[in-house]
Amino acid sequence: MSLALRPSWSVEIAQPSRAVIERLAAQLSASGLTFKRSRIPGGGDAGLRDTDFFLLSAPAAEQRVWSPWLSIDVAPRGDGTHVHARFSPHPSVWTGFAFGYLTLGVVFLVALVIAASGTLVPGAGQGWALWLAGGVALAIAGMWGAAQLGQRLGAAQMEALRGALDRALAACEAPAAAAALSTGSAPRA
């Protein structure tokens, strides 16, 4: 059982970032998955860029609450390109879980403080706070279980997204390998 909340990985490609961005965009937009290319605020829509950000998800007809999103960040690094990818749930689902964990965590701590203060004051009778803390702990465990179930239900979609990205990255690395073979040098990874 994996405890990874948002699995991520990085790849170095021995190609200029502008070429990698355009190849990735072409490959991912033709993958049959939902592909979005994001612009940074104030970056404008015109012109080539050295840095870009993509979102890849299941087709709209196949999306469910547990469907994963794959965010892909492409940036230049030296003479090559650094590609960082991270799986996460839909942003609203991620926000809901984060807010839920935060709220339950605060209620749990407050309940423990009330229970502890009840033990210091004779006859305070704060035993209900321990029951509340136990109930909140069960709710936190339930949320964690729901997250694990969502990861299992979305596993096939995660594999499809990862496969599409791996194929697109292979297409980006192919020109580097071909150039290295023609010059007799090995490509950098």
Q: Provide the residue range defining the domain that includes 103.
A: 1-183
**Distance, CA of 144 to CA of 150 (rounded, Å):** 10
Question: What is the total count of domains within the chain?
Answer: 1
Report the run of H or E that residue 86 belongs to, with start and end: strand 80-89
Domain annotation covers residue 116: yes
**179-to-11, 23, 47, 75, 95 alpha-carbon distances in Å:** 19, 16, 27, 22, 45
Domain annotation covers residue 125: yes
Tell me the per-residue pLDDT of 143-176, one tens digit each, with 9 for 90 and over: 999 988 988 999 999 999 999 999 999 988 876 5
Domain annotation covers residue 138: yes
Tell me the per-residue pLDDT of 41-76, one tens digit each, with 9 for 90 and over: 555 555 566 788 899 999 989 989 889 999 999 999
DSSP-based three-state secondary structure for 2: coil
Domain annotation covers residue 15: yes
Q: What predicted TM-score, i.e. pTM, was given to this entire model?
A: 0.73
**Distance, CA of 187 to CA of 48 (rounded, Å):** 25
Q: Region 4-30: what's the mean pLDDT?
A: 87
Q: Region 109-117: what's the mean pLDDT?
A: 93
What pLDDT shows up at residue 181? Answer: 47
Domain annotation covers residue 189: no
What pLDDT shows up at residue 94? Answer: 84
pLDDT exceeds cutoff 80 at 139: yes
Contact between 173 and 13 under an 8 Å Cβ cutoff? The reply is yes
Domain annotation covers residue 188: no
DSSP 184: T
What pLDDT shows up at residue 37? Answer: 85
**Distance, CA of 158 to CA of 85 (rounded, Å):** 12
Q: Region 129-154: what's the mean pLDDT?
A: 93
Domain annotation covers residue 26: yes
What pLDDT shows up at residue 58? Answer: 92
